[in-house]
Amino acid sequence: REYVEAMRALWTQEEASYDGEFVSFGPSWAYPKPAAHIPLIIGAGGGPKTFAWIAAHADGWMTTPTQQGISGQIEALKRAWADAGREGAPEIRILIAFKPDPDELMAWAAAGATELIWGVPDRAPDEVLASLDRLAGRLGLG
């Protein structure tokens, strides 16, 4: 938490300082400042403690590649978000490591997923582009 608070101070204050248990620095300047708010997205397994922390300190959640029961976990995060008095909704990024299932994709969208993320192979650029073309075809985008 302290690292997040310290970084946000550097990003948003003309002259920032921070004094915590794990992070401490005197008057400091960091440039260039971000042009817009930098969202803090926590990548972790979904559980009550994680969701409470995200609701209190972050802007959203990114699943793990093998996460199960994502739609239900999105609902649990939304409840934690509301319980923390947060307005709006958290960003939900789903990291996918398997062949996409159109019905599951639609269920995630309905539950509130804001972004889907697929890894690309560690290969030559032409092979990566071919992989992306195949994925686009599976999703009906190509």
Do 19 and 59 lie in one domain? The reply is: no
Q: What is the mean pLDDT of residues 45-65?
A: 93
Q: Which domain holds residue 14?
A: 1-38
Tally of structural domains, the chain: 2
Do 16 and 73 lie in one domain? The reply is: no
3-state SS class at 106? helix
Look at residue 22 and tell me whether its pLDDT is greater than 80. Answer: yes
Do 59 and 102 lie in one domain? The reply is: yes
Q: What is the pTM of this model?
A: 0.79
Do 33 and 67 lie in one domain? The reply is: no
Do 56 and 125 lie in one domain? The reply is: yes
Do 80 and 97 lie in one domain? The reply is: yes
Chain-wide mean pLDDT for the chain? 91
Do 55 and 94 lie in one domain? The reply is: yes
Nearest CA to 40 among 83, 79, 80, 1?
1
Q: Among residues of the chain, what percentage have pLDDT more than 90?
A: 72
The rounded distance, in Å, linking the Cα atoms of 7 and 23 is 10
Do 71 and 128 lie in one domain? The reply is: yes
The rounded distance, in Å, linking the Cα atoms of 70 and 98 is 14
Predicted local confidence at residue 50, as pLDDT: 95
Do 55 and 23 lie in one domain? The reply is: no
DSSP classification of residue 56: H
